[in-house]
């Protein structure tokens, strides 16, 4: 299947509330990774939206500085989208109306995280068991005047599938878009997504429906659109491994190399983070960029020993210069 097929058959703009995106290929929020530099890179490569990593609504309500640091942004992000996690409607309303998210145009509510401690707190995917509370959270976010989307899973397990009614609840509560991860909570992040669940959500609502889960190639993206009838796709971990997938799917110029991308990330990280934070970020991103590159184990070990950005840049050139 060629790049042209996706572009010709599926590529389009999305109308989400008062926001119009350049494409319907989105980058998912990923804890620890989708900081400001990474989001800007994805947008330049063709992503219609790129979300912040998961941010605690409670953390913002109580002015937690570490939480607030996750929201660094500037005018290079044309459309700013934040993802919030929590279970208390009033905390969401406070976070959405507060100074930390003042620059953000869009709020995505995490109702899909399957991690045990999140579930125990009644957050993430646990909210699929409490439609009333989930509805109140969406309504609370909408009172901020921001565009609101919801990312959720079809249910906790195959015996408790609530995808259609949950999708309708989201729309009725004011959500402007939903993203459905095609795996139940007990599937975590493995196994083929169940396309029928996403298709059911699409049939249940009139707002845009984005399909998420297991998209790691152009073929997988086409299959997802074919099988679900979704309005667009959201790429998660594969976007870290190969951000050039956004250029491939949207028809952008793909002459850029991983080396040039990581060097641009270094420049941006140094401009908005202190040196230690910048190095930590670049090392994490590079580890994903290096997946499937042979003969880099020793260089990866050297990378983790680096004590300065200047030293780190030299190692990055060694890692990627012959693998353009």
The C-alpha atoms of residue 73 and residue 319 are separated, in whole angstroms, by: 29
Bridge partners of 151, per DSSP, are 110, 179
- Return the beta strands (E) in the chain as ranges: 15-16, 19-20, 25-27, 51-56, 81-85, 106-111, 147-152, 177-181, 209-212, 232-235
> Other CB atoms closer than 10 Å to residue 123's CB: what's the count?
22
Neighbours of 122 (CB within 10 A): 14
Rounded CA separation 268/196 (Å): 41
Helices (H), 24-75: 36-44, 57-61, 65-69
Distances 9 to 159, 207, 220, 246, 314 between C-alpha atoms, Å: 35, 20, 14, 16, 42
The CA–CA distances, whole Å, from 68 to 46, 75, 112, 281 equal 27, 18, 22, 17
Q: DSSP letters of 187-218?
A: GTT-S---HHHHHHHHHH-SS-EEEES---SH
Known catalytic residues? 113
């Amino acid at each position: 299947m060629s790049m042209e097929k996706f572009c010709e058959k599926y590529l389009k703009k999305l109308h989400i509330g008062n926001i119009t995106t350049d494409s319907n290929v989105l980058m998912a929020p990923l804890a620890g990774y989708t900081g400001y530099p990474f989001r800007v890179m994805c947008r330049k490569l063709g992503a219609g939206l790129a979300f912040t990593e998961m941010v605690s609504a409670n953390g913002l309500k109580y002015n937690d500085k570490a939480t607030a640091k996750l929201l660094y942004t500037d005018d290079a992000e044309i459309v700013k989208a934040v993802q919030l996690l929590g279970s208390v409607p009033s905390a969401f309303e406070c976070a959405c109306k507060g100074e930390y998210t003042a620059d953000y145009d869009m709020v995505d509510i995490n109702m899909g995280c399957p991690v045990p401690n999140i579930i125990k707190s009644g957050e993430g995917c646990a909210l699929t068991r409490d439609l009333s509370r989930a509805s109140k959270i969406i309504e609370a976010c909408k009172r901020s005047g921001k565009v609101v989307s919801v990312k959720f899973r079809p249910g906790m397990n195959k015996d408790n599938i609530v995808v259609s009614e949950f999708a309708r609840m989201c729309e009725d509560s004011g959500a402007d878009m939903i993203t459905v991860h095609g795996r139940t909570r007990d599937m975590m992040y493995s196994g083929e997504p169940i396309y029928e669940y996403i298709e059911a959500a699409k049939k249940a609502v009139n707002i845009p429906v984005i399909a998420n889960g297991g998209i790691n190639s152009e073929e997988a993206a086409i299959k997802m659109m074919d099988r679900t009838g979704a309005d667009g796709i959201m790429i998660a971990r594969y976007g870290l491994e190969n951000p050039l997938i956004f250029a491939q799917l949207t028809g952008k110029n793909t002459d850029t190399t991983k080396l040039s991308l990581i060097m641009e990330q270094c420049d941006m990280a140094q401009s908005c983070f202190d040196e230690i934070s910048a190095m930590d970020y670049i090392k994490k991103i590079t580890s994903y960029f290096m997946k499937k590159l042979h003969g880099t184990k020793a260089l990866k070990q050297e990378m983790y020993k680096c004590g300065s950005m200047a030293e780190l840049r030299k190692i990055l050139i060694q890692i990627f210069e012959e693998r353009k």
